[in-house]
Amino acid sequence: MAAELIKGLPIAKQIREEITKNVEGLKAKNVSPKLAVLLVGDDEASVVYAQSKQKVGGNLGIEVDLKVMPADTEESVILDQIKAWNEDKDTHGILVELPLPKHITKEAVMEAIDPKKDVDGVHPVNRGYLMGGQEHLALIPATPLACVALAERAGIELSGKKVTLVGRGDTVGRPLASLLIKRNATITVCHTRTVDLPGECQNGEIVVAAAGFAGLVKKEMIKPGTVVIDAGINPTPDGKSICGDAAPDVADVAGVMTPVPGGVGSLTTTIIMENLLKAVKLQGLA
């Protein structure tokens, strides 16, 4: 029996409708939400992501100011640009596409962003609010938020559930752990040093795959009926498409599953825009 799929697009559409209404409300108060995106170099995926933000933003009445800098840009130039955006009252969100070129200190760039404009949730203050259970103050990375939004909007109860989270990275695994704890899930965090990954996955009523490793979560690891949320975005071997962290045949045993492509990843850009509206609010403008 094939798993029921939670598709990202209808949920993204729901959220976009909410955003559109909010944007109209803000414009009526003469606040025109604007997101600044910095792209340094020409990493292929980053170019696509940046353009996608412009497109999605445009459809929502949100201006996305994309600034492209050459790969050999000095760190000080990047920091100056961020400072200018921090000080610009008309710029409400700042996002720097990752990865950055190797000569740039990623942490210095992240910490330069005004936490209240940090729509990617990479500043330590935002991570700290999240860890401290102060979600209302935090701007939170889009992928973990997308995982939670898909589950919640598809009517999947998280409270009291056993969730096995595969992955402990700082953009998905760890922030997602905080979100799930706050939502009363009993979480187990697995990673490369976990001795019995199949056993841990079989223990979960919900398994979230967020390791960034194609096909890591296999059919044999999943108890029939399990909810599988796949946050993986990996290139397929031929480089022509993307695939998840769950092997395709996991769908044969899972009860409910998010597809890749078309699941978690199809929500992230929309959630960045939702974060922008939260940023507007945190700046006292809404």
Binding-site residue numbers for NADP(+) are 167-169, 233
d(CA 120, CA 219): 33
Instruction: Give, as one character, the DSSP assignment of residue 246.
Output: B
Burial 43-67 (b: 16+ CB within 10 A, else e): beebeebbeebbebbeebbbbbbbe
Binding residues: 167-169, 233
* Closest approach of a second copy to the CB of residue 253, in Å: 23
According to the binding rule CB under 8 A, does residue 167 interact with a second copy?
no
Among 4, 107, 249, 252, binds a second copy (CB under 8 A): 107
Among 22, 81, 126, 269, binds a second copy (CB under 8 A): 126
According to the binding rule CB under 8 A, does residue 4 interact with a second copy?
no
Both tokens of 54, joined, read: 């412009």
The three-state secondary structure class of 191 is coil
* Closest approach of a second copy to the CB of residue 81, in Å: 23
Stretch that binds a second copy, among 6-14, 84-92, 149-157, 159-167 (CB under 8 A): 159-167
Nearer to a second copy, 15 or 207 (CB): 207
According to the binding rule CB under 8 A, does residue 187 interact with a second copy?
yes
Vertex 187 angle, CA 257 and 250, to 5°: 25
The three-state secondary structure class of 82 is helix
Task: Compute φ and ψ for 115, nearest 5 degrees.
Answer: -50, -30
**Alpha carbon distances (Å) from 268 to 96, 146, 263:** 15, 6, 10
According to the binding rule CB under 8 A, does residue 99 interact with a second copy?
no
Stretch that binds a second copy, among 13-21, 25-33, 76-84, 166-174 (CB under 8 A): 166-174
According to the binding rule CB under 8 A, does residue 25 interact with a second copy?
no
Positions in the binding site for a second copy (CB under 8 A):
107, 123-134, 159-160, 162, 168, 170, 174-175, 177-178, 181, 184, 186-191, 193-195, 200, 203
